[in-house]
Structure 1
């Protein structure tokens, strides 16, 4: 069975901060991977590096003014990518 990795992205105009979590156990390690320039070639290299050991990648980031170019790039590379609108995330009791 192919291992799964979840990648959370904090996207800004000039940079993308990356956090990763291995799939499977809820108690798995979540860690900051690093920050890279918000450029298509760097995004491609990141995906290649993370998928290099045969992992299936699932990216997620908050909808922001920079648009869906990042989403298009990641799905074009064959990876899952979810763009989340913070206003649509359910919150528990108030």
Structure 2
């Protein structure tokens, strides 16, 4: 991860703290037909503003619910967040995730 990406992610995590957030997940194929999953978080900051921030774009081997779920779990764990903080979910292009969490 680049230095600037780490600084940005650290800032996002500081804003969230231990509070709750919603997941916004988009799954799509890139121009080389590789499946990619973009993960964003929606949360309320200390000033009461609703923010949406991209926290990762990861390659997925397949688009099954099992694969997407395990990839998402790993991403959240890697950045220090927990599913216990998730209060909402939105899947666009990853509709097979419905009911997985």
- Residue pair 2:44, 2:51 contacting (<8 A) in 1 also: no
Measure, in 2, the Cα distance between the counterparts of 1:10 and 1:21.
14
Query: Equivalent residue for 2:37?
Result: 16
Secondary structure of the corresponding residue to residue 29 of structure 1: strand
Structure 2 unaligned runs (5+)?
1-17, 30-34, 62-66
Structure 1 unaligned runs (5+)?
76-94
Q: How many residues align?
A: 69
What is the TM-score normalised by the length of structure 2? 0.49
Q: List aligned pairs for 1:1-94, cutoff 5 A.
A: 3-13=19-29, 14-23=35-44, 27-38=49-60, 40=67, 41-48=70-77, 49-51=80-82, 54-62=84-92, 64=93, 67-68=95-96, 70-73=97-100, 75=101
- Give the superposition deviation at 1:5: 0.5
- Residue pair 1:17, 1:36 contacting (<8 A) in 2 also: yes
- Give the superposition deviation at 1:26: 5.1
Residues 37/55 of structure 1: CA separation in 2 closer, same or farther (3 Å cut): same
Query: Equivalent residue for 2:3?
Result: none
Higher helix fraction (1 or 2): 2
Runs of 4+ in 1 over 3 A off after TM superposition: 23-26
What is the TM-score normalised by the length of structure 1? 0.51
The CA RMSD over aligned residues, in Å, is 3.0
